[in-house]
Amino acid sequence: MSTGGGADAAGTTIASLDARLIQVPLTRPWGADVTAVGVIATHVVRSDGAEGWGFSWTPQIGARAVHALLAHDIAAFAVGRTADPSALWADAWRHLHEAGGGGVTTIALAGLDLALWDAGARARGMPVSELLGRRRGSVRAYGSGVNLHYPLDELVAQVRRWVDAGFDAVKVKVGRPDVREDADRLAAVREVLGPDRALMIDANQRWDLAQATGALELLAGYDPAWIEEPLRADDLTGHAELARRLAAGSGIPIALGENLHTAYRFAEFLRAGAAQIVQPNVVRVGGITPFLGIAEIAVTHGATLHPHLLPELSGQLALTLPVASGADTPMAEDVEDAGFGALGALDGPSPVRIADATLTETAHVGLGIRFR
């Protein structure tokens, strides 16, 4: 697997970095206050003339802060330095660390890292997956939705659409004020899915330890394949205790990681036995460079890794990732009506295709992701 981003010209440096903020309206709002996602499109030019395009991403909150970091702090730091993302990333992270070790800083750093990987692959006339070392030609995709606010009939209709589209695994939200309502909703979902399709549930950090313990005792009857973010994302001790309780009872595995921002945090959670499935978001962790490191940590601990959201990007990486012995092959998360291509945000065709619950790449070079 390559770790150099294709910056194979000796002494290649970053000549310029530009960033622009785009608001992409959502066809299906993720809630009353999440009607669009913020994309900060980046463009890098190397000293050898090679160009690359990347992006940072955040739903609704923080996009202007990310743009400011890229346009000022990161651009000023990056120009004149190595164009090899693997060699640059740690120094860039240390430079930004005073503003926070993760979160807005790593989200912003992804804009530079992705553009450099794109430039490296474009310079060689190949997709990033080929540069990294593609291990498989396709990955399974699962249907996903931000649907806790959906009335029951809309939730059931969404699940039927997934079944009709060929998905054999779907994910729905839980965490209603009364867990009995969650149970009623899962009963209706399971009826549509039947016994053989996988059902994953996502609480999006809505419970405390006592609530999660009680809720999962009730919801275990619907055979969830995992429970995602049952507690606050930074509650390491709570997740470790919940994992112990679940292992002694229903056996439901814990999945988390969309709100962990560094390899250090992933390693801490896995060492503590607080999760069996990790879900790094390639943008939130700072780009491809740290994402690859997190994948190696998952292998070391025998954990399954399923990338979070952004199938146009994370689906390409899923084709390249190593898999621990006994772990599942990475799946791509396909949130209904939320892909950049489906939202009309891309200047060109999507670099991936999802059909019959299977993600494959289309012909492209680099990341194949440029925004209108």
Report the CATH number at residue 29: 3.30.390.10
**pLDDT tops 80 at residue 278:** yes
Q: Bridge-partner residues for 317, per DSSP?
A: none
Say yes or no: 30 and 117 in one domain.
yes
| Local structure of 152: helix, strand or coil | helix
Say yes or no: 180 and 222 in one domain.
yes
Q: What is the CATH number of the domain that holds 306?
A: 3.20.20.120
DSSP per position, 34-49: BSEEEEEEEEEEETTS
Say yes or no: 304 and 351 in one domain.
yes
pLDDT tier at 361, thresholds 50, 70, 90: very high
In a domain, 1, yes or no: no
In a domain, 221, yes or no: yes
Q: Which of 2-6, 157-161, 176-180, 229-233 has the lowest mean pLDDT?
A: 2-6
- Which of residues 109, 125, 141 is at a domain's end? 125
CB proximity list for 249: less than 8 A, separation 6 or greater: 217, 220
> pLDDT digits over 173-208, tens only?
999 999 999 999 999 999 999 999 999 999 999 999
- Quote the pTM value: 0.96
In a domain, 366, yes or no: no
> pLDDT digits over 34-72, tens only?
889 999 999 999 999 999 999 999 987 999 999 999 999
| Residue 65: domain span | 14-125
Say yes or no: 119 and 196 in one domain.
no
**pLDDT tops 60 at residue 3:** no
Say yes or no: 264 and 314 in one domain.
yes
Say yes or no: 119 and 194 in one domain.
no
Say yes or no: 180 and 280 in one domain.
yes
Domain count, the chain: 2
- Strand 352-355 with 358-361, pairing: antiparallel
Q: Bridge-partner residues for 37, per DSSP?
A: 24
- Which of residues 125, 144, 163 is at a domain's end? 125
154, 185 in Cβ contact below 8 A?
Answer: no
Say yes or no: 71 and 137 in one domain.
no
Known catalytic residues are 173, 308
| Local structure of 315: helix, strand or coil | helix
**pLDDT tops 90 at residue 8:** no
In a domain, 7, yes or no: no
190, 225 in Cβ contact below 8 A?
Answer: no
> pLDDT digits over 300-327, tens only?
999 999 999 999 999 999 999 999 999 9
User: Roughly how many angstroms between the first and final C-alpha of the chain, as a whole number?
Assistant: 31
334, 354 in Cβ contact below 8 A?
Answer: yes
- Which of residues 79, 108, 125 is at a domain's end? 125
Say yes or no: 44 and 180 in one domain.
no
What pLDDT is recorded for position 266? 98
In a domain, 138, yes or no: yes
Share of the chain above pLDDT 70, in %: 97
CB proximity list for 152: less than 8 A, separation 6 or greater: 184, 185, 188
**pLDDT tops 50 at residue 1:** no
In a domain, 371, yes or no: no
Say yes or no: 255 and 144 in one domain.
yes
> pLDDT digits over 82-114, tens only?
999 999 999 999 999 999 999 999 999 999 999
What is the chain's mean pLDDT, rounded?
A: 96
Please state the rounded mean pLDDT for residues 163-170: 98
Say yes or no: 198 and 343 in one domain.
yes
For the chain, how many residues are written?
Answer: 372
Say yes or no: 91 and 140 in one domain.
no
In a domain, 51, yes or no: yes
Please state the rounded mean pLDDT for residues 151-159: 98
In a domain, 4, yes or no: no
Please state the rounded mean pLDDT for residues 128-146: 98
